Structure 1
């Protein structure tokens, strides 16, 4: 073997040996890397907590009572049947709110919807309260209506009214903003949920209110529920309901919206004005309307007198089909105030219809479910019969509630026992501060008198701006 071949063999062997050693070292390194934990580098994102700049607090009052079809030559013409008396107020030592009339759908535009605006002060939003009431006595409309002025919402629900024969109900949509709102009305009836042609892509101009006849949405439906969905700008939704029985007007009401569905709906302050059998005219005087929008479920209805923790009758169990409204009569209730408690295994909506009778001079009211009052909140007691604040405590702990007139004329403190309700007498055309010291309490302003019945829930103040976290 030559020296050159020996050298070549030695060189090749050295390369093979080096490659083998490198491969072995690589395998050992990989195994070690897998089995031995590596150092972890964690970096928390930068977070900045900030409070948004306060904006104006805006409420919308529904406006006066409207009448349709009074002129045979122009059956679609809308006129004002009665003006609305508005009560507004803010907290102590705060600047009074301004009132801005919205463009009215009524031909005479004498009692339009009104935007109540309170500007921020001291770097914080200003809590504002407002309510309105109206009385009408005419051949086609009669009764008393009272409603709270509410903030505009992107979504809300109207539970009440009818599109059956004798009803002349209308949906009211108001846009207090500066840009147009596009609104879709989804109706729920015996056929389930549907978007009728008359409820699709409705445009509400800035600073305007429009009217949509309920019969044009779901003709003949006796127990409708309406979902109001807005895009572009929030709207304030309400329903004016009235009934005529054989040419005799049987009452009128302005029904406010319910903001969200829930597995528990509580309606305090339902006022029964007559004892069973006092009115010889047959008919149910107290009716609960229920809707489970999304799922089949079962609801349980419990009725408790205000001022007591003992139920008035055995609980009623009601099966609910998804998307189909259901009505349940509550018979045998003696005159007085009651809390109606609805619980279910799925999200539901609920409201109670109550009437003073079925003859001439009768009136009715729709009592919408009351949300919990989670912070000190203002509310306004409207003009009309003596208002009463009904309180309901659905929790298992007593709640002490303070109700103080903003003008300093009165202050009441009441402790509401678990599962019970209490009532506080109010003064008409007065703004109050309700402080329940935390979550849980429900409240309803109710009014009743000779041929007059109305009520609306108290909502929590939305004046406090919530802190938000910004991740730059």
Structure 2
């Protein structure tokens, strides 16, 4: 019996031992399988890279200076006060742009703003640039206005103007497209954002410009900012602003739109022609308007003379409440050209109002921010006072910049110092190409003469369509 038990125990132990060995081997195999890379089979999907056909370049102009209420039998009627003189051009060796005129209700055919279209050539986008200028001396409007023709946008911001007594400002909405646009105008004032009944669901028909009095949107607002939102089709928005002081016209301007709020806004080429004296002590000759549309912020404002590194004024920190515009007096600046930088940390829009004075024969201008130019870009210089191009280099290295006329007869090579600025004199009624080289540049055009002042920011050329990858 005992021999049989020993045999059974031995055979059982053998089985246990064998099972343990097999289990251990299995564990080792699994661990090894996990730690050692397994052979893989990969197959790249079939793909095709293609560059979309470029679209036509389209820009719309502000149009002539308009007057409202000249006809005493129809105080709301709109009439042309003075036509706009235009200067346009396209990329080198391209065909001249196609031109059409938008229709404005109540105005004769052919009196509205111009639209320039440059179709692509050989699957290459053609850049187009244009700018207009108007000089007027009438009982209700007087001064000089200049503005660039811009591409239509689905959203833009108008920073400038007033709806107080003495102002007769107009919001201009142009639709150069082929389908109607529905536009919402949101006004930002002392009470915050508001969409007034006169700015809700405005239909701008294709091929037309619609004119909306600012007083009907923000009556009594001293420092309004307007957000223009469009659906259905993009629109070109601008602002005609003017002022009358005790029956004396005090200037006129056409204010272009700001493309979008950004944490840093750079406004350059601001020209101070006269240092305010005791007679103008109660009025500020240089005023900065800022709006943080969506969040509270603290904006640091720096005013720097062009060509110098030291600020002209001690940098000032201004608290901003979301949705409420703020104006900052920058008066007392000596005669010269300046750059104003607003660094808020949160997206803001801004513009600078500059006046030549406050008497009969004086003028004013709204200077809006200049976007960064990183590619060769076309810009137009309209007729008017002698123009000056201000270049600001926000980078840490000197920038090699060239400015070439459209016909190639003029070429200027400039070195803009790191974190510095410089100015170049240009010719009127000429189209130029600004090439920033390997750098990024901020540029603004200023036109200043006797009782005339205007500023135009230089915008970058539209970017080419990126390559897209298609997976069949």
SS of the residue 1:153 aligns to: coil
Corresponding residue of 2:386: 386
CA-based RMSD: 2.2
What is the match of residue 310 of structure 1? 310
Q: Tell me the alpha carbon deviations over residues 244-278 of structure 1, each in whole angstroms, 9 at most, x when there is no partner.
A: 11111111100001111111000010010102317
Greater displacement, 99-108 / 364-373: 99-108
- Compared CA separation, residues 278 and 52, structure 1 to 2 (3 A): farther
Show the counterpart of 1:333. Answer: 333
5+ residue gaps, structure 1, are: 1-24
Give, in angstroms, the shift of residue 39 of structure 1. 7.8
Aligned to 1:266: 266
- Equivalent residue number for residue 7 of structure 1: none
Q: Does 1:323 align with 2:323?
A: yes
Write the deviation string for residues 335-394 of structure 1: whole angstroms up to 9, x where unpaired. 111000110111111110000111101110000000000100010000111111111112
Decide whether the 8 Å contact of 1:399 with 1:417 is kept in 2.
yes
Q: CA deviation at 1:41?
A: 7.2
Name the structure 2 match of 1:228.
Answer: 228
Q: For residue 101 of structure 1, what is the aligned residue in structure 2?
A: 101
Task: Quote the residue 1:459 is aligned against.
Answer: 459
The answer to whether the 8 A contact 1:88-1:380 is kept is yes
The secondary structure found in structure 2 opposite 1:215 is: helix
TM alignment of 1:139-154, pairs within 5 A: 139-154=139-154
Secondary structure of the structure 1 residue equivalent to 2:454: strand
In structure 2, the CA distance between the partners of 1:300 and 1:47, relative to structure 1 (3 Å rule), is farther
Instruction: Check if 1:179 corresponds to 2:179.
Output: yes
Supply the distance in 2 between the matched residues of 1:457 and 1:51 (Cα, whole angstroms): 31
Q: 1:11-60: CA deviations, max 9, x gaps?
A: xxxxxxxxxxxxxx9xx99x969x95888777666543321112211010
> 2:446 corresponds to which residue?
446
SS of equivalent residue, structure 2 residue 179: coil
Tell me if structure 2 keeps the 8 A contact 1:124–1:465.
Answer: no
Structure 1 CA distance, aligned partners of 2:213 and 2:42?
60
For 2:189, the equivalent position in structure 1 comes to 189
| Maintained 8 Å contact 1:304/1:311 | yes
Question: Which residue does 2:18 correspond to in 1?
Answer: none
CA-to-aligned-CA distance 1:392-420 (integer Å, 9 cap, x gap): 11222211210111112211111111222
Which sections of structure 2, spanning at least 5 residues, go unmatched?
Answer: 1-22
SS in 1 for 2:216: helix
How many angstroms apart in 1 are the aligned matches of 2:110 and 2:121? Answer: 32
Contact 2:140 2:248 in 1 (8 A): yes
2 CA distance for matches of 1:42 and 1:227?
A: 52
TM-score by length of 2: 0.90
Report matched runs for 1:17-166 at 5 Å.
36=34, 46-109=46-109, 111-166=111-166
Aligned to 2:376: 376
3-state secondary structure, aligned to 1:299: strand
Q: How many residues align?
A: 447
* SS at structure 1 position matched to 2:104: coil
Contact 2:103 2:111 (8 Å CA) reproduced: no
* CA distance in structure 2 between the aligned counterparts of 1:141 and 1:470, rounded to whole angstroms: 57
Counterpart contact for 1:281–1:358, Cα < 8 Å: no
